[in-house]
Amino acid sequence: MRFLQHVRQRRAAAGLFFGALLVPVLAACGGGSTGTSGAAAAATASASGSVPAANLTVLAAASLTDVFKTLGTQYTKEHPGTRITFSFAGSQELAAQVRQGAPADALVTADTKTMDGLRAETGTPTVIAKNELVIATAPGNPHRIDSLKDLSDPGLKVVLAAPEVPAGRYSQEVLDKQGITVEPVSLEPNVRAVLSKVELGEADAGLVYKTDTTAAKGKVGSVAIPPDQNAIASYPAATLKAGKNPAAADAYVQWLSSPEAQKTLQEAGFQQP
Protein backbone atom coordinates (compact mmCIF):
# COMPACT_ATOMS: atom_id res chain seq x y z
CA MET A 1 0.00 0.00 0.00
CA ARG A 2 1.13 3.54 -0.70
CA PHE A 3 0.55 4.45 2.94
CA LEU A 4 2.84 1.64 4.15
CA GLN A 5 5.49 2.60 1.57
CA HIS A 6 5.39 6.17 2.79
CA VAL A 7 5.64 4.98 6.40
CA ARG A 8 8.74 2.90 5.72
CA GLN A 9 10.43 5.87 4.02
CA ARG A 10 9.80 8.00 7.09
CA ARG A 11 10.83 5.45 9.76
CA ALA A 12 14.52 6.29 9.70
CA ALA A 13 13.92 10.03 9.99
CA ALA A 14 11.31 9.52 12.69
CA GLY A 15 13.68 7.29 14.66
CA LEU A 16 16.33 10.01 14.71
CA PHE A 17 13.75 12.51 15.85
CA PHE A 18 12.60 10.24 18.69
CA GLY A 19 16.14 9.84 19.93
CA ALA A 20 16.41 13.58 20.41
CA LEU A 21 13.31 13.56 22.56
CA LEU A 22 14.36 11.11 25.20
CA VAL A 23 14.97 13.80 27.80
CA PRO A 24 11.62 14.21 29.58
CA VAL A 25 9.74 17.48 29.64
CA LEU A 26 8.54 17.60 33.20
CA ALA A 27 5.44 19.20 34.71
CA ALA A 28 5.03 19.12 38.49
CA CYS A 29 1.77 18.86 40.43
CA GLY A 30 1.10 19.23 44.12
CA GLY A 31 3.21 20.30 47.03
CA GLY A 32 5.62 18.87 49.56
CA SER A 33 9.19 19.34 50.66
CA THR A 34 11.74 18.37 48.04
CA GLY A 35 14.40 18.22 50.70
CA THR A 36 13.01 15.10 52.40
CA SER A 37 15.19 12.05 51.88
CA GLY A 38 13.72 8.89 50.33
CA ALA A 39 13.99 7.00 53.61
CA ALA A 40 12.35 9.78 55.62
CA ALA A 41 9.59 10.18 53.01
CA ALA A 42 8.81 6.47 53.12
CA ALA A 43 8.46 6.72 56.89
CA THR A 44 6.13 9.74 56.72
CA ALA A 45 2.50 8.68 56.53
CA SER A 46 0.08 10.67 54.41
CA ALA A 47 -3.23 11.95 55.71
CA SER A 48 -4.76 8.54 55.00
CA GLY A 49 -2.31 6.99 57.41
CA SER A 50 -1.37 4.21 55.00
CA VAL A 51 0.30 5.80 51.94
CA PRO A 52 3.86 7.05 52.46
CA ALA A 53 4.57 10.58 51.30
CA ALA A 54 7.00 10.72 48.39
CA ASN A 55 8.17 12.66 45.37
CA LEU A 56 6.84 10.57 42.49
CA THR A 57 7.82 10.77 38.84
CA VAL A 58 5.20 9.41 36.45
CA LEU A 59 5.84 8.79 32.74
CA ALA A 60 2.55 9.13 30.84
CA ALA A 61 1.33 9.01 27.25
CA ALA A 62 0.92 12.41 25.59
CA SER A 63 -2.84 11.96 25.21
CA LEU A 64 -3.13 11.93 29.02
CA THR A 65 -1.57 15.39 29.44
CA ASP A 66 -4.64 17.41 30.42
CA VAL A 67 -6.49 14.85 32.49
CA PHE A 68 -3.39 13.68 34.37
CA LYS A 69 -2.59 17.23 35.46
CA THR A 70 -6.09 17.38 36.93
CA LEU A 71 -5.71 13.95 38.52
CA GLY A 72 -2.33 14.96 39.93
CA THR A 73 -3.89 17.92 41.69
CA GLN A 74 -6.66 15.72 43.09
CA TYR A 75 -4.23 13.08 44.33
CA THR A 76 -1.85 15.47 46.07
CA LYS A 77 -4.76 17.17 47.84
CA GLU A 78 -5.80 13.80 49.20
CA HIS A 79 -2.21 12.86 50.10
CA PRO A 80 -0.45 15.85 51.66
CA GLY A 81 3.33 15.57 51.48
CA THR A 82 3.20 13.79 48.12
CA ARG A 83 4.47 15.52 45.00
CA ILE A 84 3.97 14.19 41.48
CA THR A 85 6.10 15.16 38.49
CA PHE A 86 4.76 14.07 35.11
CA SER A 87 6.72 13.47 31.92
CA PHE A 88 4.44 13.32 28.88
CA ALA A 89 5.56 11.89 25.52
CA GLY A 90 4.71 9.26 22.94
CA SER A 91 4.50 5.80 24.51
CA GLN A 92 7.43 4.57 22.42
CA GLU A 93 9.58 7.42 23.73
CA LEU A 94 8.60 6.62 27.31
CA ALA A 95 9.51 2.97 26.78
CA ALA A 96 12.92 4.01 25.48
CA GLN A 97 13.44 6.17 28.57
CA VAL A 98 12.58 3.25 30.87
CA ARG A 99 15.01 0.96 29.05
CA GLN A 100 17.75 3.58 29.37
CA GLY A 101 17.20 3.83 33.12
CA ALA A 102 15.42 7.17 33.35
CA PRO A 103 14.52 7.76 37.03
CA ALA A 104 10.77 7.26 37.40
CA ASP A 105 8.27 5.48 39.62
CA ALA A 106 5.30 4.65 37.37
CA LEU A 107 4.42 4.36 33.70
CA VAL A 108 1.14 4.77 31.79
CA THR A 109 1.09 4.01 28.06
CA ALA A 110 -1.59 4.37 25.36
CA ASP A 111 -1.42 0.71 24.37
CA THR A 112 -0.86 -2.68 25.91
CA LYS A 113 1.76 -3.66 23.31
CA THR A 114 4.27 -1.08 24.54
CA MET A 115 3.66 -2.00 28.17
CA ASP A 116 3.95 -5.72 27.44
CA GLY A 117 7.38 -5.07 25.97
CA LEU A 118 8.55 -3.78 29.37
CA ARG A 119 7.56 -6.74 31.54
CA ALA A 120 11.05 -7.03 33.00
CA GLU A 121 10.96 -3.39 34.13
CA THR A 122 7.41 -3.07 35.48
CA GLY A 123 5.02 -4.47 38.01
CA THR A 124 1.73 -6.02 36.89
CA PRO A 125 -0.09 -3.46 34.71
CA THR A 126 -3.72 -2.45 35.16
CA VAL A 127 -5.81 -0.92 32.37
CA ILE A 128 -7.22 2.35 33.76
CA ALA A 129 -9.06 3.72 30.71
CA LYS A 130 -9.87 3.28 27.03
CA ASN A 131 -10.11 5.67 24.10
CA GLU A 132 -11.06 5.75 20.43
CA LEU A 133 -9.98 7.57 17.29
CA VAL A 134 -11.72 10.51 15.65
CA ILE A 135 -10.90 12.71 12.67
CA ALA A 136 -9.71 16.14 13.78
CA THR A 137 -10.53 18.98 11.37
CA ALA A 138 -10.33 22.75 11.31
CA PRO A 139 -13.17 24.42 13.28
CA GLY A 140 -16.40 24.17 11.33
CA ASN A 141 -14.99 21.38 9.14
CA PRO A 142 -14.52 23.65 6.08
CA HIS A 143 -13.46 20.74 3.85
CA ARG A 144 -16.63 18.83 4.76
CA ILE A 145 -14.85 15.67 5.82
CA ASP A 146 -17.46 13.06 6.69
CA SER A 147 -15.59 9.76 6.80
CA LEU A 148 -12.24 8.00 6.72
CA LYS A 149 -12.59 7.65 2.94
CA ASP A 150 -12.43 11.43 2.57
CA LEU A 151 -8.87 11.38 3.95
CA SER A 152 -7.69 9.77 0.72
CA ASP A 153 -8.43 13.00 -1.20
CA PRO A 154 -5.03 14.09 -2.60
CA GLY A 155 -6.12 17.69 -2.20
CA LEU A 156 -6.29 17.36 1.57
CA LYS A 157 -3.31 17.86 3.86
CA VAL A 158 -3.59 14.94 6.28
CA VAL A 159 -1.20 14.37 9.19
CA LEU A 160 -0.83 11.14 11.16
CA ALA A 161 1.16 9.89 14.12
CA ALA A 162 4.22 7.83 13.17
CA PRO A 163 3.68 4.04 13.11
CA GLU A 164 5.94 3.59 16.17
CA VAL A 165 3.38 5.60 18.17
CA PRO A 166 0.23 3.84 19.44
CA ALA A 167 -2.01 6.42 17.74
CA GLY A 168 -0.11 5.87 14.50
CA ARG A 169 -0.48 2.12 14.79
CA TYR A 170 -4.22 2.44 15.46
CA SER A 171 -4.56 4.85 12.51
CA GLN A 172 -2.82 2.43 10.18
CA GLU A 173 -5.06 -0.35 11.45
CA VAL A 174 -8.33 1.48 10.74
CA LEU A 175 -7.20 2.75 7.33
CA ASP A 176 -5.98 -0.66 6.23
CA LYS A 177 -9.19 -2.26 7.48
CA GLN A 178 -11.17 -0.01 5.14
CA GLY A 179 -8.71 -0.34 2.26
CA ILE A 180 -8.00 3.39 2.33
CA THR A 181 -4.72 4.85 1.09
CA VAL A 182 -3.59 8.09 2.69
CA GLU A 183 -0.48 10.10 1.83
CA PRO A 184 0.24 12.05 5.03
CA VAL A 185 2.10 15.34 4.76
CA SER A 186 3.92 14.44 7.97
CA LEU A 187 4.28 11.67 10.54
CA GLU A 188 4.38 13.03 14.09
CA PRO A 189 6.15 11.71 17.24
CA ASN A 190 2.96 11.72 19.32
CA VAL A 191 -0.77 12.28 18.97
CA ARG A 192 -0.66 15.76 20.51
CA ALA A 193 1.71 16.84 17.73
CA VAL A 194 -0.90 15.68 15.21
CA LEU A 195 -3.55 17.73 17.01
CA SER A 196 -1.27 20.76 17.06
CA LYS A 197 -0.75 20.60 13.28
CA VAL A 198 -4.51 20.75 12.77
CA GLU A 199 -4.95 23.51 15.37
CA LEU A 200 -2.30 25.65 13.68
CA GLY A 201 -3.80 25.15 10.23
CA GLU A 202 -0.73 23.27 9.01
CA ALA A 203 -2.96 20.28 8.21
CA ASP A 204 -6.58 19.98 7.11
CA ALA A 205 -7.21 16.82 9.08
CA GLY A 206 -5.57 14.22 11.30
CA LEU A 207 -6.42 11.06 13.20
CA VAL A 208 -6.31 11.65 16.97
CA TYR A 209 -8.06 10.37 20.07
CA LYS A 210 -11.55 11.51 20.98
CA THR A 211 -10.18 12.97 24.21
CA ASP A 212 -7.73 15.15 22.27
CA THR A 213 -10.50 16.94 20.40
CA THR A 214 -12.48 17.21 23.65
CA ALA A 215 -9.54 18.96 25.31
CA ALA A 216 -9.14 21.26 22.27
CA LYS A 217 -12.83 22.13 22.03
CA GLY A 218 -13.33 25.22 19.89
CA LYS A 219 -9.87 24.95 18.37
CA VAL A 220 -10.59 21.92 16.17
CA GLY A 221 -13.58 20.08 14.82
CA SER A 222 -14.25 16.37 15.34
CA VAL A 223 -15.71 13.75 13.01
CA ALA A 224 -16.71 10.46 14.62
CA ILE A 225 -15.59 7.14 13.17
CA PRO A 226 -18.22 4.34 13.25
CA PRO A 227 -17.47 1.69 15.89
CA ASP A 228 -17.14 -1.08 13.32
CA GLN A 229 -14.40 0.92 11.56
CA ASN A 230 -12.63 2.17 14.68
CA ALA A 231 -9.90 0.91 17.01
CA ILE A 232 -10.02 1.00 20.79
CA ALA A 233 -6.95 2.17 22.69
CA SER A 234 -6.27 0.73 26.15
CA TYR A 235 -4.19 2.60 28.76
CA PRO A 236 -2.31 0.30 31.17
CA ALA A 237 -0.60 1.73 34.24
CA ALA A 238 2.21 0.02 36.18
CA THR A 239 4.87 0.72 38.76
CA LEU A 240 8.51 0.64 37.67
CA LYS A 241 10.75 -1.84 39.47
CA ALA A 242 13.66 0.59 39.45
CA GLY A 243 11.61 3.31 41.13
CA LYS A 244 12.74 4.64 44.50
CA ASN A 245 9.23 4.89 45.97
CA PRO A 246 7.55 1.51 45.33
CA ALA A 247 4.87 1.75 48.04
CA ALA A 248 3.82 5.28 47.09
CA ALA A 249 3.92 4.44 43.38
CA ASP A 250 1.77 1.36 43.89
CA ALA A 251 -0.75 3.41 45.88
CA TYR A 252 -0.93 5.98 43.06
CA VAL A 253 -1.40 3.36 40.34
CA GLN A 254 -4.17 1.70 42.37
CA TRP A 255 -5.83 5.09 42.94
CA LEU A 256 -6.14 5.61 39.17
CA SER A 257 -8.81 2.87 39.21
CA SER A 258 -10.71 4.47 42.10
CA PRO A 259 -14.24 5.89 41.57
CA GLU A 260 -12.93 9.44 41.96
CA ALA A 261 -10.17 9.06 39.37
CA GLN A 262 -12.46 7.17 36.99
CA LYS A 263 -15.04 9.96 37.21
CA THR A 264 -12.41 12.51 36.17
CA LEU A 265 -11.16 10.32 33.32
CA GLN A 266 -14.66 9.80 31.96
CA GLU A 267 -15.50 13.49 32.22
CA ALA A 268 -12.47 14.06 30.00
CA GLY A 269 -13.93 11.67 27.41
CA PHE A 270 -12.11 8.46 28.27
CA GLN A 271 -14.05 5.20 28.34
CA GLN A 272 -14.28 2.78 31.24
CA PRO A 273 -11.47 0.20 31.29
Q: Are 62 and 191 in contact (CB under 8 A)?
A: yes
Q: How far apart are alpha carbons 167 and 111 in whole angstroms? A: 9
Q: Is 187's pLDDT higher than 80? A: yes
Q: Is 191's pLDDT higher than 90? A: yes
Q: Is 14's pLDDT higher than 90? A: no
Q: How far apart are alpha carbons 59 and 86 in whole angstroms? A: 6
Write down the pLDDT at residue 30. Answer: 45
Average pLDDT, the chain: 86
For 54: left if phi > 0, alpha if psi spans -120 to 50, otherwise beta; the answer is beta
Q: Which domains does the chain have, with CATH numbers?
A: 2-15+131-232 (3.40.190.10), 20-129+235-267 (3.40.190.10)
Write down the pLDDT at residue 8. Answer: 44
Phi, then psi, of 214 in degrees rounded to 5:
-65, -45
The DSSP result for 209-233, as a single string, is EHHHHHHTBTTBEEEE--GGG--EE
pTM, to two decimals: 0.81
- pLDDT tens-digit readout, 214-258: 999 899 999 999 999 999 999 999 999 999 999 999 999 999 999
- pLDDT tens-digit readout, 42-98: 333 333 457 778 999 999 999 999 999 999 999 999 999 899 999 999 999 999 999
Q: Are 184 and 10 in contact (CB under 8 A)?
A: no
Band of residue 22 on the pLDDT scale cut at 50, 70, 90: very low
3-state DSSP assignment of residue 142: coil
Find the mean pLDDT for residues 31-35: 33
- pLDDT tens-digit readout, 136-170: 999 999 999 999 999 999 999 999 999 999 999 99
For the chain, percent of residues with pLDDT exceeding 70: 82
The DSSP output letter for 240 is B
